[in-house]
Each structure stands twice: as C-alpha cells, then as structure tokens.
Amino acid sequence: MKAAVFHGPRDVRFERIDRPVLKEGEALLQVRACGICGSDLHTYRHGMFLQLGNPLESGRVLGHEFSGEIVEIGGDVSGVNIGDRVVSVGVGANAEFIKLTPMMIDSLVPFDESVSFVEAATTEPLATSLHAARLGEAKDGETHVIMGAGIIGLGILQCIKASSSASVILVDLSSKRLAKARELGADVTINAGDKNAVDEVLALTGSTQLNVVEAVQGNVDAVYDCAGFGKNFKGISVLEQAMSMVRQNGKVVVVAVFEQDVTIDYNMVVRKGIRVVGSWAWSREEFIEAFHLISSGKVDRKPLVSHTFKLEQASEAYETQLLAEEAIKVVFTP
C-alpha cells in the first residue's frame, strides 16, 4: 500500500509498504483523510514525539488525525460493519490503510454523509482546542487572548464562540491566518510582526486594580499560549507575554509544545496570582463533543483546511505545513 514514511528530520518519503494483516477482533480502515498535526511537525523538524509514529523496519509512519471507511473485519467483531464511515485515533495513518485494534474499534465515532471525511479528520485537533477552551472557562462579557492562530488557536476561538459571547483577540505573525481568525469571529486581531502584542492588548484592556494603592498591569481573563517557544525563537517568550496581559487572578492556558526552555520572572505569577494551566490532549468525552460541534454545524472546520495532498506528494505536504504564513491545516487524502 501507499504510505508517507518519516526517515529523519525534513525527510518524509512516499513509499510502498506492506498492507496490515488483520488478527481476530481487528478491522482495516481505508484512510480517506489524515491531517498533519503540530506534533507531526515537531517530529518532522526535530525528531520529537517519535512514539506518535508507527515504526517500520526502516522509518516510521506518522499521522493520527484521520477518518475513513471500514473495508475489512477480522473475524467476529461487534459494533462495526464494512462500509462504516468513522473517525478514530491511532498512529500510522499517513497511509492508504490502517489497522484498528479492538481498543480503537471500541472508541470509533461513526458518521453519515452529512460530514465529509476531511472535516471529520479535524476532530482530534478540535478536541485538543476544546480541552484548552474548557480550562480557560470563557464566560459572557469576558476577554480572552489567543496567542497563535494555527489550527489549535483557531479551534479554541471556535469553541469559545460556540459557547459564549466572550470577546476574543487573536495574535499571530501571519496576516493570512489572522484574516481567517476574523472570518471565524475574532473580535480583534493583532499582527505581532507589525506591533507589540503586549502593548496593543494593554491599550485595549487596561489594568486591574489590586487594592487601593496598587494596580496590576493587564486585564484579560484568560490567555492561551498556542505558540510555545520554538528552537529558533528569540526574545520575550509568548508565555511571558501572556502573563503580562492577563488580569489579577487570571488564567494562562499553555497548549503549545516547547522546543527549548524559557526563562520567566516568576514574581509576575506570584504578584498577579496567575493560574498557569497546562493543556494536553483531551478526554474521550471531549473527543465526542468536538465531533458533535462539527456534525451539528456549530463549528465549521472547512475554512481551516488550507491544502490537501495525495500520499505521493508526501514531502511537499510536510513542507507546506511548515509554511506558517501560508498553511493552516494540510490534509492527506490518500
């Protein structure tokens, strides 16, 4: 079968590999759509998160955000039929077929023709966004700032807007991504390449009065760090910028992955009483809810898919997803 095989940093190749052989209780899914995740990019650039790839004798197959059609069932398996359209999570879906284990079969989410395979394949990153948005607890009338308008940041925007009337400010370096954020309902967007994001946000939101003598800079209820600190990043980290914007007792939700250590003046955390919360992945219930946000039409994921590629274009697909200015979500349609 066809596959995109990762061999090392900046080296993903289109290859033919053995099609999985089923054991009793397993099922074969023909992959119809598989997104390239931010974590796949960390692997692609630096070889991080190798555990999210399916190892072969030489190289490994990445890809865990997928949907497809059941084409073969090993023996007697209940709850799944040939021809079912399903969204699932596993590793190794940058390929024509992927084997579903009994555990994966138990957690499949089936869907009908009203949802496309490409939309369904964006369920996993939306679940990641939903988990982060829940930690931020947006309420009507609040102001939230999202640092980073990639698929996760834009998904957080969608989740906040689907559940509250909070104002949302998006910060990014890509004018294309920020235009997308406005299209999806962002109230304000700031291009951090043109303007100082902290100054802009402070000018918009002001400060918090701590007590009669002391004011604390920043009046944002929650800030989401969807940018992290990449190996090539310099200057003040997005995390520290987030802490400068947030109000007294506000929340900083950290969703991004850090490729290097950051230095933070922790007095700011103490003095402002900031709640710093890490956000990783999602629960099964959040995954199902994310899918329902899509299938009910509350959230439209179609505008986020910027490119689709065939497996034959494996290298081009990964290189495109690296182009933060151009790409939002790159999806393989094998």
Interacting residues toward Zn ion by CB under 5 A: 37, 65
Q: Residue 109 or residue 245: which is nearer to Zn ion going by CB?
A: 109
Nearest distance from C-beta of residue 87 to Zn ion, angstroms = 13
Judged by CB, which is closer to Zn ion: 164, or 333?
A: 333
Residue 195: helix, strand or coil by DSSP?
Answer: coil
Indicate if the alpha-carbon torsion angle 66, 67, 70, 75 is positive or negative: positive
Q: Indicate the residue among 37 and 222 with the shorter CB distance to Zn ion.
A: 37
Nearer to Zn ion, 38 or 218 (CB): 38
**Residue 11 CB contacts under 8 Å (≥ 6 apart), including other chains:** none
Shortest distance, CB of residue 72 to Zn ion, whole angstroms? 26
Q: How far is the CB of 46 from Zn ion (least distance, A)?
A: 16
Q: Is the dihedral of CA 281, 85, 331, 144 positive or negative?
A: negative
- Identify which of residues 66 and 229 has a Cβ nearer to Zn ion in the complex: 66
Quote the DSSP letter at residue 298.
S
Question: What's the closest the beta carbon of residue 100 comes to Zn ion, in angstroms?
Answer: 18
Closest approach of Cβ 315 to Zn ion, in Å?
Answer: 20
Q: Which is nearer to Zn ion, 6 or 274 (CB)?
A: 6
Residue 200 beta carbon to Zn ion: minimum distance, rounded to whole angstroms: 30
C-beta nearest to Zn ion: residue: 37
Q: Is 69 helix (H, G, I), strand (E, B) or coil?
A: strand
Cα(83)–Cα(223) distance, integer angstroms: 43
How many Cα neighbours within 13 Å face the side chain of 319? Answer: 8
Nearer to Zn ion, 40 or 200 (CB): 40
For residue 215, the tally of other CB atoms under 10 A from its CB is: 14
Contact 97, 28 (CB under 8 A): yes
Please state the closest distance from residue 152 (CB atom) to Zn ion, in A.
9
Please state, as a whole number, how many other Cβ atoms lie within 10 Å of the Cβ of residue 162: 14
- Residue 269 half-sphere exposure, CB side, CA atoms within 13 Å? 10
Element (H, E) at 161: helix 151-163
Coil, helix or strand at residue 182: helix
Cβ proximity to Zn ion, 65 vs 96, nearer residue: 65
Please tell me whether residue 109 adopts helix, strand or coil conformation: strand
* Beta strands 275-278 and 246-254, pairing class: parallel
- Spatial contact of 252 and 239, defined as CB atoms under 8 Å apart: yes
In the bound complex, what is the minimum distance in angstroms from residue 107's beta carbon to Zn ion?
Answer: 16
